[in-house]
Structure 1
Amino acid sequence: MVFRLTLDGHTHEVTIVRRRPHLVISIDGREHEIDQVADVGDGRRVLGIARHSVAFARAGFHDRQIVRLAGRTFEVGMVDPFAGEAGGAGPQDAIKAPMPGAVVDVHREVGDKVVRGEPILTIESMKLQMVLSAPRDGVVAKILRSSGTTFEKDEVVAMLEPQDV
């Protein structure tokens, strides 16, 4: 799953890389493993990131979230991908697995130019093989799974370079 958030007026791309055995998210291309999320009451929570505990408080306000972290307050909101905001990754930059399975073959490498419909990866799930193709013309930015590795449903397995709007 790929989405964009605004944090104090700056847009960041957030990708759920995998969910098991621990949640791994990518924020602007940098991966973070989430060890735990614990509710400590009154909107306060503790988040475990790379075995470090981070305490924060969160409250909803209309379409925004207000987050208090390390003595600072941040306003966070979702970015509508259809609002026409320039730059950043769009909904067709991520190539996601439609079901859990394993990678059978990798057809492209990082840096390869691709045309919409060209194969990127072949995956297998319950003895059914499926080709995951480029959703648009572009350049392969990341191949996140190699041949023989497994993945979960909706996990991002490859990324195209963000398309300028």
Structure 2
Amino acid sequence: TVHQVCVFSVLFQLAVFVGKNRKCGQVVLLHQGQRPEPRLRIVADLLRRAHGVTLVLQPLRGNWFARLGRLTTPDTVIYYLTDMPPEAFPQAARRERGRSRLLLTHDQGPVLQVETVSGSQSFARRLGARRIVLDYPSSDSLRIRPIGADEAAVSICPLEDWLFWPLLGAARQQAVRAQ
């Protein structure tokens, strides 16, 4: 999925949906943060109490993939934000081999497609998991769609809701200076 203005609400709704409709009892959130956003503790508690879904917060530090492998069962969904622009996370951009694309829209039309850093294709292959893309086409809708194991992911998000949109100007300025 993508970083956008209501990412915690989207996480909550997805967890409730897969808990009810897919009988998944665990959602693992892979995250970059040193300390997860405090609101995630509230989301985790509510999911557990009201919906019987466990939210596991897994930072991308240390031996995280081995831990993810041990956590992953047939009833696990891995929630990973696949839209980090290389300009925002140069260390991750160098380490990650996978690339995805994000289609930014405005008023229901495409505006710009940007390359993003993503490990989702590699994670799915190594864990033997199916991949889905969670699109955020507008502030009042979400869409879940499967993608093939070798297919490059293209997510959708309104330009004004994507948290990294201010970097687009900085990236363009750097490209102009490099020329």
Q: TM-score, normalised by structure 2?
A: 0.27
Would you tell me which structure has more strand in proportion to its own residues?
A: 1
TM-score by length of 1: 0.29
Structure (1 or 2) with the greater helix fraction: 2
